[in-house]
Amino acid sequence: MKETSVDLYKSLEPGFVVVVTATIKEDGSLIIDDFDGSKGANETFGSDVETSITISTEDVDRLITKLNKKTNFSLNPLKLLTKTPNEQFEIKDRHDLLVWIQQEYSHIEAKSKLEALFKSYGISPKRNSWPFG
């Protein structure tokens, strides 16, 4: 499987550099990376901060199965132009999962809330944080 990434959030404004990405790794696992180079991170932690959450290959498979049991998925047509409003969206593979994560993130706009969303499906991501640079 080829590694695939999507940006969930990106701000490159001076003093507020924040980038959040979701990546499906070659082994099928999912990584959500959050690089915070904002002034607030530097003031609080003394440096830029990078945080990642990892969902194992097995848990990604479980998440896809659980999501497909839900029936009311609809995608924002601005996010995926091939879908129409209120059209049912089946998550068939990891690419569809990235689209779903991107859609959910656009509503909640916080990695911690995304992490809580995963936990609501019985998936417990592994969290790592470290100063950057």
Count: domains in the chain: 1
Sheet holding 16-24, edge to edge: 4-13, 16-24, 30-36, 48-55, 126-132
Place of tokens 């199965």: 65
Task: For residue 33, give its domain range.
Answer: 4-132
Confidence of residue 34 (pLDDT cuts 50, 70, 90): confident
Residue 63: HSE in the Cβ half-sphere, 13 Å Cα cutoff = 25
As given in the structure block, the two tokens for residue 78 are 């601005």
The confidence score (pLDDT) of residue 81 equals: 37
As given in the structure block, the two tokens for residue 105 are 């993130």
Overall pTM > 0.95: no
Report the alpha-carbon distance of residue 126 to residue 52 in Å, rounded: 8
Question: What's the average model confidence in pLDDT over 18-23?
Answer: 88
Average pLDDT of the residues of the chain:
76
Place of tokens 């690089």: 35
Beta carbons within 8 Å of 95's beta carbon, 6+ residues apart: 4, 24
Summarize pLDDT for 98-129 with one digit per residue, the tens.
888 887 777 766 667 778 888 888 888 888 87
Summarize pLDDT for 65-102 with one digit per residue, the tens.
887 765 444 444 334 333 434 345 678 888 888 888 88
The confidence score (pLDDT) of residue 24 equals: 93
